[in-house]
Amino acid sequence: MRKLDEKKTARTAGMSGSDERMAAGAAGVRSDESLEQDLREHGAVLEVSHSRISDSAGNVLVHDFSLAVHAGETVGLVGESGSGKTLTLRNLIGLLPEGLTETHEVLRRNADTAMIFQDPVRALDPLCPVVRQICEVIRVRQKKDRAEARKLAAVMLRRLDLPAEWLRRDPLPGEISGGQCQRVDIAIALACRPRVLLCDEPTTALDVTVQKQTLALIRDLQQSLSFAMVFVTHNLAVAAQVCEKLVVLREGRIVEQGTAAEIFSAPKEDYTRQLIAAILPVPEREKDGQHSPL
Ligand SMILES: Nc1ncnc2c1ncn2[C@@H]1O[C@H](COP(=O)(O)OP(=O)(O)O)[C@@H](O)[C@H]1O
Ligand SMILES: [Mg+2]
């Protein structure tokens, strides 16, 4: 059995192999009591203001980003590819890629933050059976012994609609579907008991039907466990399903923000209008797929 160190825990909390080298940064997420107190007083579970992310050549990748997330709310970060969504999200958990730097006026991270990455398979250890991965995180993050961790893992499998059979024959990530891998990633993130869950396009790699089920599951879990979420997607139809508030990003800048209802009914910016116009609702896409002439 591998040693359970901080790095391992951070990795299994949803980070891919390439994130391991950055996992040391996760220690920066741990905040002290005074910070927790501070956050409570501000009424936000996560807050950043005037954040700027630059590369080593001094190019600014994200300009002047500000966001406050309150308990239980879901904020969507939307924008086309390359608009700065992933970098912004990684900064919120303290895991910017090497070589990038960030400055800010205020940055209040939350000790209880977990992240789900875009690629569900890469986020898992390919050589470790999946239930064992869930159990390891429960043991470390919830300080449970092996037997208790297995019991809690069984509950999570049920909750996430994953086969109970896995408790007897624990499969490797390569032996299960992409949708199941994503549910395992979600289970691992939830095993951290997060108050804030950061989701980076968690359904983009999945096929449309599984995408819809996974979104419904995330929404359900969020309502019953009442964590706050920052949900990144390039797909406004997906954002409409899960987010109460939206922040629209373009080329590293916020172009518009507001409640999802406001933004969908009366977008102020052309760019937002284009994003709305360009995206078919998820059910239409599914129908298109079914009637594909190919
Ligand atoms: N590690 C990195 N080093 C340098 N530039 C990066 C790095 N990661 C992302 N970028 C650049 O930052 C911009 C925003 O990237 P990203 O946040 O990944 O966009 P999105 O998630 O919205 O597609 C892009 O122009 C991208 O090329
Ligand atoms: Mg991205």
Tokens of residue 148, six digits: 């208790």
Assess whether the C-beta atom of 79 lies below 6 angstroms from ligand 1. yes
Strands 196-200 and 228-233: parallel
3-class SS of residue 90: helix
- Chain segment 58-103, per-residue pLDDT in tens: 999 999 999 999 999 999 999 999 999 999 999 999 999 999 999 9
pLDDT mean over 26-50: 62
Residue 97 Cβ inside 6 Å of ligand 1? The answer reads yes
Averaged pLDDT, 265-290: 71
120 pLDDT band, cuts 50/70/90, is confident
More confident position, 67 or 31:
67
Ligand 1: which residue has its CA nearest to atom 25?
82
Alpha-carbon distance 122 to 108, whole Å?
A: 29
Burial of 128 (0-12, 13-18, 19+ CB in 10 A): middle
Q: How far is the centre of ligand 2, averaged over its atoms, from the C-alpha of 141 (Å)?
A: 27
Q: Whose CA is nearest to atom 2 of ligand 1?
A: 97
> pLDDT class for 149, splitting at 50, 70, 90?
very high
Residue 54, pLDDT > 50, answer yes
* Winning range, highest mean pLDDT, from 113-122, 147-156, 220-229: 147-156
Taking the model in full, what pTM does it have?
0.82
pLDDT bucket at 177, cuts 50 / 70 / 90: very high
Give the per-residue pLDDT at 132. Answer: 97
What φ, ψ does residue 204 adopt, rounded to 5°? Answer: -60, -35
Q: How far is 279 from 270, CA to CA, in rounded Å?
A: 14
- Mean pLDDT (the chain) is 83
Bridge partner list, 102? 53
Predicted local distance difference test score (pLDDT) of residue 294: 27
114 and 189 Cβ atoms separated by less than 8 Å: yes
For residues 235 and 81, what is the distance between their CA atoms, to the nearest angstrom? 10
Average pLDDT rounded to a whole number, residues 110-126? 90
* 91-100, 144-153, 197-206: segment of lowest average pLDDT: 197-206
Residue 172 CA to ligand 2 centre (angstroms): 26
Ligand 1 lined by 91 (C-beta under 6 Å): no
Average pLDDT over residues 254-259: 96
* Atom 4 (ligand 1) nearest CA: 55
Q: What pLDDT is attached to residue 10?
A: 39
Q: Which atom of ligand 1 is nearest to the CA of 53?
A: 12
In 3-54, the DSSP E strands lie at 46-54
Pocket perturbation via mutation, ligand 1, pick of 60, 87, 233 by most ligand atoms within 8 A of CB: 87
Report the pLDDT value the prediction gives residue 117, as an integer from 0 to 100: 87
For residue 107, count CB atoms less than 10 angstroms from its CB and return exposed for 0-12, middle for 13-18, buried for 19 or more.
middle
Q: Cα separation of 33 and 120, whole Å? A: 33
pLDDT at 146 over 50: yes
The pLDDT value recorded for residue 3 is: 37
Stretch 157-168: mean pLDDT: 94
